[in-house]
């Protein structure tokens, strides 16, 4: 698939990527919009403005850091006046090796009507180094996760940073079987907090469906705050 890439392998910064169009579609497996750095530079930000953003299986929007000394990953900002639709797709801000000194960028998505994740789609921020992973913030009329899709902020073993927070503002949040929203830590830093505000309802249904903040190391788990008119947990759904 086609790619838009801004990267650096030296000491400089990678540039920003800004895309503005009525309808934006990433359709072919391997198609991507990426900023990356493998040295001491700072990643550029990714900014996307559209009526609709559609991501098909195997497509990626990401900001990655790879080598020790990188200062920070870029932010990912997506604004769609109608909808963001992901099927088998990934939006991420991550660092790969342990020991990095970088801060990871935030992922912010705003959609006028809906944000939907299906077919094992994911929105992830992750730190394997010494600083924090980024926050995930989504504002939309409806937010729906289906078919093993998930939102996650985390830190890996050996990391000392904190996992980012997850903040959702919507009318209706629906988590179908096997989907999850999680902030976790496997390092000495703390897991992030999860805040959900839904003016109509929050629904978790089915085995494996969860909203969770957890720790598997010395860091503390975060808090979960849900403000909604109607909360439904059914058929094995879990908040923990």
Can you give the pLDDT of all 240 residues of the chain as single tens digits?
Answer: 788 887 666 666 778 999 999 999 999 999 999 887 766 667 789 999 999 999 999 999 998 876 555 556 789 999 999 999 999 999 998 876 554 555 678 999 999 999 999 999 999 988 776 677 789 999 999 999 999 999 998 877 666 678 789 999 999 999 999 999 999 877 677 778 999 999 999 999 999 999 999 877 676 778 999 999 999 999 999 998
Helices (H), 24-77: none
Q: Enter the pTM of the model.
A: 0.92
Query: For 120, left (φ over 0), alpha (ψ -120 to 50), or beta?
Result: left
How many residues does the structure list for the chain? Answer: 240
Residue 81, CA distances (Å) to 21, 52, 113, 217 in order: 11, 7, 7, 41
CA 198, 203, 208, 214 dihedral sign is positive
- Three-state DSSP at 130 gives coil
């Amino acid at each position: 698939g086609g790619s838009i890439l801004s990267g650096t392998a030296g000491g400089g910064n990678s540039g920003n990527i800004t895309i503005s169009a009525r309808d934006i579609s990433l359709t072919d497996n391997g198609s991507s919009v990426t900023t990356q750095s493998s040295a001491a530079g700072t990643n550029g930000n990714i900014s996307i403005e559209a009526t609709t953003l559609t991501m098909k299986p195997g497509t990626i929007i990401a900001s990655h850091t790879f080598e020790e000394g990188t200062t920070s990953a870029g932010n990912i900002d997506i604004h769609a006046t109608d909808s963001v639709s992901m099927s088998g797709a990934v939006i991420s801000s991550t660092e790969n090796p342990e020991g990095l000194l970088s801060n990871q960028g935030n992922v912010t998505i705003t959609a006028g009507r809906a944000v939907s994740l299906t077919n094992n789609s994911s929105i992830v921020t992750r730190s394997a180094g010494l600083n924090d992973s980024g926050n995930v913030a989504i504002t939309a009329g409806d937010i729906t996760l289906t078919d093993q899709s998930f939102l996650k902020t985390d830190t890996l073993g050996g990391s000392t940073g904190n996992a980012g927070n997850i903040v959702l503002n919507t009318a209706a949040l629906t988590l179908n079987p096997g989907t999850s929203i999680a902030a976790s830590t496997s390092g000495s830093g703390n897991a992030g907090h999860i805040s959900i505000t839904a003016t109509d309802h929050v629904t978790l249904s089915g085995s494996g469906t969860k909203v969770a903040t957890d720790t598997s190391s010395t860091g503390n788990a975060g808090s979960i705050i849900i403000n909604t008119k109607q909360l439904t947990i059914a058929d094995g759904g879990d908040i923990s």
